[in-house]
Chains A and B, each alone.
Chain A
Amino acid sequence: MTNRAYKERESSEDLTANGRPPEWSKRNGLVLSVGNWRESPISTSGVSDPLLTSFFGRCAGQRTASKADDLFSYDTSFSNPHGLKSPALSNFERQMTQFSSDEEVNFEKLRKEYVLVLRSEVESFLRSHRSLIDVLLDAVPQFKSCFGPDSILQLRLGGEEADAPNVVCGIVLWSGSLDAARAALDIFDQSWWMNNVTRTSGRVVFDYELA
């Protein structure tokens, strides 16, 4: 147990500290303001970002069929000019907590199915590309049916530039012959991967490695 390198990523610390994925904070200014809304509604005049101004304006005056309706409920009769109700916000926070919890469950599943090479880096990448996790989990039974139930599966990062990985590689460690590995991968491709490759935006590669 010597010199076990386990790098903490800022992103995972953010996740733990906030109870919500860091990507939201960076990408969606709304989340940054949740704490303020609960205590005192924000003035739209104080919002300089045109996108946010538009969003707040819409929240205040109308009920639309946008995705925002899934996250907030509006009460136009409410004296609050923004029409935001705290129950809606608490619902939103509940959803975010649930979202984080689901993500952790998926990571636990992933760790049980794949050997993660440089775990913190792989997990950090997957936290930035969350839709890949479902694909990787869905691939497991397919992999096992093609390569055998006792196959060892690895996840590692890859890409053209070593210091900027942009794909995650699902690798089967194969102890049989090269021809058998090729045949198994062909079956995997034809039976499942070709129908699912579009789910990954080119960020997943499946292959084998002779062990």
Chain B
Amino acid sequence: MPEKVTIPISFLEYDAEFVRPIFAALMDRASIVQAIFDAMSPWKLEIDNVEPITSGKPSEQGIKFKIPEKKVTFLFGAGSCRFTKDDADWASAEETIGILAAALDALKASSGAAFSAQHVAFALHIQPKKAKFLDLLKPFLSPILQELEGEGVKTGASILKWDRRRVVLDGSGALANALFLKFEREFDGSSNLREIAIQMKTDEDTLFKILDIEEEL
């Protein structure tokens, strides 16, 4: 029977890379900012939550929009854009997709940006209701390495990479008796957000099954 878990901390990261840099997004960007602001305003985006990022390399600079009530941010620069959401969950997925789609559509229409690739990552801090996190983690740690010290390990991590996918399973550094699971995928620039969401949900379900856990609702 799967172990019941809660997920007190979770976040979503979405990145899209442009086919070629859009320098208007760094310089003459008022019309782009206006378009994105208008598109995100139904979710109570306020002027004080729009800020220019002027530090770092040119590829890291841009304009950041924040909607604190929804715990989302959207940043665009000359080479890419990034969207984040804290406390991401599937119950609010429709709304999250709506906000992201509005921002991306406005960005594309106002700047002419085209995407070469999209990258999505979910990170979850998972707390078992009864079991010890290490009992859930241990089957995924190398038995040979676990024998190194002749005493039980305290924690450990597994990191697996494929060409377009990555999974990290670790002990949580933020919560007591918790696992940290991060799973990420790269998608084509043309993939739509619903397809992406369905794939990520499938990935999560598969990983939960492998870990033998079930979220308590």
Contacts and interface: CB of A to CB of B under 8 A. Distances in A.
Q: Do A and B bind each other?
A: yes
B204 interface: yes
B91 A2 contact: yes
B91 A4 contact: yes
Given A119-B8, A152-B132, A3 B89 contact: yes
Interface stretch (B97-105, B158-166, B173-181): B173-181
A27 B68 CA distance: 26
Contact of A2 (B90, B173, B175, B177): B90
B101 to A, nearest CB: 20
Given A1-B88, A1-B124, A153 B176 contact: yes
Interface of A: 1-6, 16, 108, 111-116, 119, 150, 152-153, 173, 211
A207 B132 CA distance: 19
A1 B89 contact: yes
A111 B176 contact: yes
Nearest to B90: A2
B22 interface: no
B80 interface: no
Contacts of B110: none
Contacts, number: 58
Interface string B117-128: 000001010010
Contacts of A1: 7, 10, 88-90, 122, 124, 201, 204, 215
Interface of B: 7-8, 10, 68, 87-91, 122, 124, 127, 130, 132, 134, 173-178, 201, 204, 215, 217
A123 B68 CA distance: 19
Given A3-B90, A4-B215, A5-B217, 6 more contacts: A1-B124, A1-B204, A4-B90, A16-B68, A111-B8, A152-B176
A114 B174 CA distance: 11
21 contacts: A1-B89, A1-B122, A1-B124, A2-B91, A3-B89, A3-B217, A4-B88, A4-B89, A4-B90, A111-B8, A111-B174, A111-B176, A112-B174, A112-B175, A112-B176, A113-B176, A115-B127, A115-B176, A115-B177, A116-B8, A152-B176
A119 B130 CA distance: 16
Nearest to B92: A4
A5 B8 CA distance: 9
A65 to B, nearest CB: 42
Nearest to B8: A119
Contacts of B68: 16
A116 B129 CA distance: 11
A16 B176 CA distance: 24
Contact of A3 (B91, B132, B175): B91
A139 B130 CA distance: 21
Of all A-B residue pairs in the complex, the 8 with the closest CB atoms, nearest first, are A4-B89, A3-B91, A2-B90, A6-B87, A152-B177, A119-B8, A3-B217, A115-B176
Nearest to B88: A1
A108 B176 CA distance: 10
Contact of A173 (B88, B124, B130, B215): B130
Contacts of A3: 89-91, 217
A200 to B, nearest CB: 20
A59 B32 CA distance: 53
B214 to A, nearest CB: 10
Contacts of B130: 173, 211
Contacts of B217: 2-3, 5
